[in-house]
Amino acid sequence: MVDESTERLNRAFAALADPVRRDLVARLATADATVGELAEPYDMSLQAVSKHLKVLEAAGLVTRSKQAQRRPVHLDAEVFDLMTKWIERYRAEAEERYRRLDALLESTADDTNTAQSRTKDAS
């Protein structure tokens, strides 16, 4: 058992690692579209695009309803929350560290070299 949300994050990040799929998401943010419509701008077979959509679907980023023989694709933004939460958590932690480091440096070097907190060279 590898933790459910870990798996979801794996799929979500992997899905968005491909520029074609990010582009698909970008276009779907504006409007739902059929596979054919989505495939049109790319120099790529329809089947390839269909595969990309399957990846996005498996990642939970997209849902494909079935109306007549068309299968309009719809962006489902919910997974985005999971990703931003993950990122924000560790970004916050890292920044908190910086903050503390700054404080430490200032208190250590308080009377010698007051300014210059966390510049590129902390040597």
Given the rule CB under 8 A, which residues bind its own copies? 2, 6, 9-10, 13-14, 16-19, 22, 25-26, 28-31, 67, 75, 77, 80-81, 83-84, 86-91, 93-95, 97, 123
Asked if 48 touches DNA (CB under 7 A), the answer is: yes
SS3 33: strand
Asked if 45 touches DNA (CB under 7 A), the answer is: yes
Two tokens, residue 8 = 């979801």
Cα–Cα dist 103/13, whole Å: 35
Binding residues for DNA, how many (CB under 7 A)?
27
Q: For the residues of 57-101, what is the DSSP string, one character each? A: HHTTSEEE--BTTB--EEE-THHHHHHHHHHHHHHHHHHHHHHHH
Shortest separation between residue 100's beta carbon and its own copies, angstroms = 11
- Where on the chain is the footprint of DNA (CB under 7 A)? 14, 17-18, 20, 34-37, 43-48, 50-55, 64, 66, 68-72
